[in-house]
């Protein structure tokens, strides 16, 4: 590529803005041009850093793989963005991977070339390293999960002054959020869990704001340029960008106003950049007057919450389906293994080990329908109801138009509630869905209790199955290994059950035309979903798929169990069978030998009746017989 084009392009890149035209021309001698096809990796997690990458055109996805093979998008970069800047300072391994999503042209400054540049022009190299250090500092701060106070957000000395009802404040220039978000970070340092922890919620807020902008534009309330700028800002949020600017704590007073304003301010300031304006120049695009036009927190927040929960439910069900598949796989693997069934922790009748796993798969399969049924309740929204459902400050045609755009953007069959006053104050759908999530957690906990019991021992317990050994189990007892994965899922279930109670109490606490407790409802349900997804993925990968059976142990317990006598009921009758069971227990003899000794049945009859395989499914009965002393 022509060096002049590269030099002109670098003027727009933050790292090189302090350089003169001559200095940038010199730097182009050290730049290489690379082209990447869709899916091609720029760099991979844990590989040494080699290049600073600058995107000329295309899209680059930064993502991270988890220990069980899943991927999580961290961010999306496009033209004028850069990544891998730490390579100019050291070759420490990358903490994430990057790949092209479309054909992309990249400029690269390799570490080796930069070292040559450092020798030739140490003064310019120092300027660049200073910029790099500043960017790394900012990214490290943005990655922090805890916003202690406003001062923690100041990256440089540069600020912008914003004002609100209460007065003026200096807002850190680097951030897209504004004064109301700044106040919220000071007022609500509650959990350390910010909106950025739940990207589906941010996505949903962006969808709501985009739909509102399109509806307002159709009504002639927003100009073309402002609408386009707001839409671009929202789309960038949907692409995973700027999420670190959502810093408000999930639990907050004000019925979600701080969350709504965090979204309004981020979108407005990013839109201002798109318009070629400075952040904070709200006369051109205002958080309230433009981004929040025709809306109130009381319809925008719950609508976004509903959309976010629908999309989160899809992810939850996907992870649940994978766990069900794992149980079904084990059910087939263990279908031939005879074992003793138990009721009230006492021997009952024989079954197969596969039937245990099949039953767990079946009970979890029921939860898919329950979750989806309840998630469908979220399709009814109150957009256009504004403050209390009366639609004040919204055009009469706004509701229908915004719903139409919301359907298009979300690809969901969103519908307007028939009574917006009722819908604005009602949290019934949240209560129902939280209950379904709790039901799943309760079933998972029961299954994990069973896994712990069946693997107990190994010498002095049931020991029918072996769970994968994950870690040493004791700081004092050598050789001990504990069922840590089922245990952690049990604890997740306890937390989910507690979160459901929180949702119930918060829903009950609504007053008159609004329930102000929706933030804690949102936080509780999102936390439950996240923990269950992580817990089920861990249970599948680190426990279920690695379970093995102790087949000899299973058969031994069947053959020695008094429970076999149940099969004699239809032939000997309950009283005679009880006497045989009692004597077997008192004399520590087997049911089989006692029946033959007493002449109650022939050996052939007995072998057929007491064959465990004949006790696994229903069989035709011939009626009771009293053999007496035969």
Residues 229 and 321 in one domain: no
What is the model's pLDDT at position 113?
Answer: 83
Residues 421 and 566 in one domain: no
| Between 64 and 534, the higher pLDDT residue | 534
Residues 119 and 171 in one domain: no
Does 624 map to a domain?
A: no
pLDDT band with cut points at 50, 70 and 90 for residue 95: confident
Average pLDDT, integer, range 330-336: 95
Does 514 map to a domain?
A: yes
pLDDT band with cut points at 50, 70 and 90 for residue 137: low
Does 623 map to a domain?
A: no
Residues 397 and 316 in one domain: yes
* Catalytic choice (47, 137, 335, 474): 474
- Please determine, for residue 364, whether its predicted confidence score (pLDDT) is greater than 90: yes
Residues 137 and 168 in one domain: no
What is the model's pLDDT at position 595?
Answer: 87
Please name every residue paired with 227 in a beta bridge, in sequence order, or none if there are none. Answer: none
Domain stops at, among 263, 293, 323: 293
Residues 84 and 119 in one domain: yes
| Between 372 and 16, the higher pLDDT residue | 372
Nearest-CA neighbor of 255 among 494, 509, 600? Answer: 509
Return d(Cα 350, Cα 335) in angstroms, integer. 13
pLDDT band with cut points at 50, 70 and 90 for residue 480: confident
What is the model's pLDDT at position 622?
Answer: 64
What is the model's pLDDT at position 152?
Answer: 42
Residues 425 and 491 in one domain: yes
57-66, 115-124, 416-425, 619-628: range with highest mean pLDDT: 416-425
CATH of the domain at 61: 2.60.120.10
Return d(Cα 313, Cα 320) in angstroms, integer. 10
Does 627 map to a domain?
A: no
**Which of 186-195, 351-360, 592-601 is predicted with the least confidence, judged by mean pLDDT?**
592-601
Question: What mean pLDDT, rounded, does the chain reach?
Answer: 89
Return d(Cα 493, Cα 487) in angstroms, integer. 10
What is the model's pLDDT at position 147?
Answer: 39
Residues 120 and 158 in one domain: no
Task: Express each pLDDT in 556-565 by its tens digit.
Answer: 888 788 877 8
Domain stops at, among 75, 108, 143: 143
Buried b / exposed e across 140-163, counting CB within 10 Å, b at 16+? ebbeeeebeebeebbbeeeebebe
What is the model's pLDDT at position 224?
Answer: 97
Burial of 583 (0-12, 13-18, 19+ CB in 10 A): middle
CATH of the domain at 417: 1.20.200.10
Residues 495 and 541 in one domain: yes
- Please determine, for residue 283, whether its predicted confidence score (pLDDT) is greater than 70: yes
pLDDT band with cut points at 50, 70 and 90 for residue 240: confident
Share of the chain above pLDDT 90, in %: 60
Domain stops at, among 95, 121, 143: 143
For tokens 């009880």, the residue is 578
Does 482 map to a domain?
A: yes
Residues 127 and 154 in one domain: no
Does 621 map to a domain?
A: no
Instruction: Give Dmax over CA atoms of the chain in angstroms.
Output: 113
Task: Express each pLDDT in 566-604 by its tens digit.
Answer: 878 888 888 888 998 898 888 888 887 888 888 988 988
pLDDT band with cut points at 50, 70 and 90 for residue 190: very high
Average pLDDT, integer, range 80-102: 84
Does 406 map to a domain?
A: yes
- Please determine, for residue 146, whether its predicted confidence score (pLDDT) is greater than 60: no
Residues 430 and 404 in one domain: yes
What is the model's pLDDT at position 17?
Answer: 75
474 as an active site residue: the answer is yes
Q: Please answer whether residues 518 and 256 qualify as being in contact, where contact means their C-beta atoms are separated by less than 8 angstroms.
A: yes
CATH of the domain at 586: 1.10.40.30
Nearest-CA neighbor of 605 among 613, 596, 597? Answer: 596
pLDDT band with cut points at 50, 70 and 90 for residue 526: very high
CATH of the domain at 173: 1.10.275.10
Return d(Cα 354, Cα 465) in angstroms, integer. 11
Average pLDDT, integer, range 117-135: 78
What is the model's pLDDT at position 249?
Answer: 94
* HSE of 344, CA atoms in CB hemisphere, 13 A: 0
| Alpha helix positions (H), 189-296 | 199-218, 224-238, 257-274
| CA distance from start to end of the chain | 102
Domain that holds residue 542: 300-552
Average pLDDT, integer, range 289-298: 97
Task: Express each pLDDT in 150-165 by its tens digit.
Answer: 334 444 456 788 999 9
* HSE of 320, CA atoms in CB hemisphere, 13 A: 28
Average pLDDT, integer, range 55-60: 91
Domains of the chain: total:
4
Does 330 map to a domain?
A: yes
Average pLDDT, integer, range 501-523: 96
Contacts of 29-32 spanning 24+ positions with Cβ under 8 A: 29/3, 30/109, 30/113, 30/114, 30/116, 30/117, 31/6, 31/107, 31/108, 31/109, 31/113, 32/107, 32/108, 32/109, 32/110, 32/113
Average pLDDT, integer, range 102-124: 86
Residues 441 and 464 in one domain: yes
| Between 601 and 366, the higher pLDDT residue | 366
């Amino acid at each position: 590529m022509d060096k002049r084009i590269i030099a002109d392009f670098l003027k727009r890149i933050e790292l090189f803005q302090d350089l003169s035209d001559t200095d940038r021309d010199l730097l182009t001698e050290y730049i290489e041009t690379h082209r990447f096809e869709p899916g091609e990796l720029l760099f991979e997690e844990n590989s040494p850093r080699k290049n600073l990458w600058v995107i000329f055109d295309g899209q680059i996805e930064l993502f991270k793989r988890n220990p069980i093979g899943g991927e999580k998008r961290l961010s999306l970069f496009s033209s004028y963005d850069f990544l891998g800047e730490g390579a100019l300072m050291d070759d420490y391994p990358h903490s994430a991977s990057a790949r092209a999503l479309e054909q992309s042209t990249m400029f690269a400054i390799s570490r080796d070339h930069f070292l040559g540049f450092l020798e030739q022009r140490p003064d310019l190299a120092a300027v660049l390293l200073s910029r790099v250090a500043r960017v790394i500092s900012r990214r490290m701060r943005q990655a922090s999960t805890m916003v202690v106070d406003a001062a923690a957000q100041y990256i440089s000395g540069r600020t912008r002054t914003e004002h609100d009802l209460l007065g003026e404040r200096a807002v850190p220039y680097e951030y897209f959020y504004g004064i109301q978000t700044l106040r919220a970070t000071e007022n609500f340092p509650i959990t350390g869990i910010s909106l950025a922890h739940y990207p589906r919620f941010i996505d949903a807020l962006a969808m709501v704001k985009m739909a509102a902008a399109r509806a307002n534009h159709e009504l002639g309330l927003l100009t073309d340029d402002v609408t386009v700028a707001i839409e671009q800002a929202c789309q960038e949020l949907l692409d995973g960008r700027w999420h670190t600017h959502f810093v408000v704590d999930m639990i907050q007073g004000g019925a979600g106003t701080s969350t709504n304003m965090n979204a309004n301010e981020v979108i407005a300031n990013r839109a201002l950049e798109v318009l070629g304006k400075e952040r904070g120049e709200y006369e051109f695009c205002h958080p309230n007057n433009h981004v929040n036009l025709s809306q109130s927190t009381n319809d925008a927040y719950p609508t976004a919450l509903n959309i976010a929960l629908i999309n989160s439910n899809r992810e939850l069900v996907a992870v649940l389906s994978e766990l069900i598949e794992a149980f079904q796989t084990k059910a087939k693997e263990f279908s031939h293994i005879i074992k003793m069934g138990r009721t009230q922790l006492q021997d009952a009748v024989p079954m197969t080990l596969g039937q245990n796993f099949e039953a767990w798969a079946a009970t979890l399969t029921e939860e898919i329908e329950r979750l989806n049924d309840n998630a469908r309740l979220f399709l009814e929204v109150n957009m256009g109801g504004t403050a209390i459902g009366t639609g004040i400050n919204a055009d009469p045609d706004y509701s229908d138009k915004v719903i139409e755009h919301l359907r298009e953007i979300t690809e969901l069959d969103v519908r307007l509630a028939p009574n917006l006053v009722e819908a604005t104050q009602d949290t019934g759908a949240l209560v129902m869905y939280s209950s379904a999530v709790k039901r799943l957690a309760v079933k998972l906990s029961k299954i994990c209790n069973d896994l712990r019991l069946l693997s107990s021992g190994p010498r002095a317990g049931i020991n029918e199955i072996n769970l994968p050994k994950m870690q040493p189990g004791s700081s004092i007892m050598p050789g001990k290994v504990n069922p840590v994965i089922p245990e952690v899922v049990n604890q997740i279930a306890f937390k989910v059950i507690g979160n459901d109670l929180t949702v119930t109490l918060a829903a009950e606490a609504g007053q008159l035309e609004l329930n102000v407790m929706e933030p804690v409802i949102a936080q509780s349900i999102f936390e439950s979903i996240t923990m269950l997804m992580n817990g089920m993925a861990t249970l599948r990968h680190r426990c279920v798929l690695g379970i093995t059976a102790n087949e000899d142990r299973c058969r031994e317990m069947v053959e020695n169990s008094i429970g076999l006598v149940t099969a004699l009921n239809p032939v000997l009758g309950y009283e005679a069978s009880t006497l045989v069971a009692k004597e077997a227990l008192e004399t520590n003899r087997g049911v089989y030998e006692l029946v033959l000794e007493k002449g109650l049945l022939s050996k052939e009859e007995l072998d057929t009746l007491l064959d465990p395989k004949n006790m696994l499914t229903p069989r035709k009965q011939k009626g009771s017989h009293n053999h007496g002393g035969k």
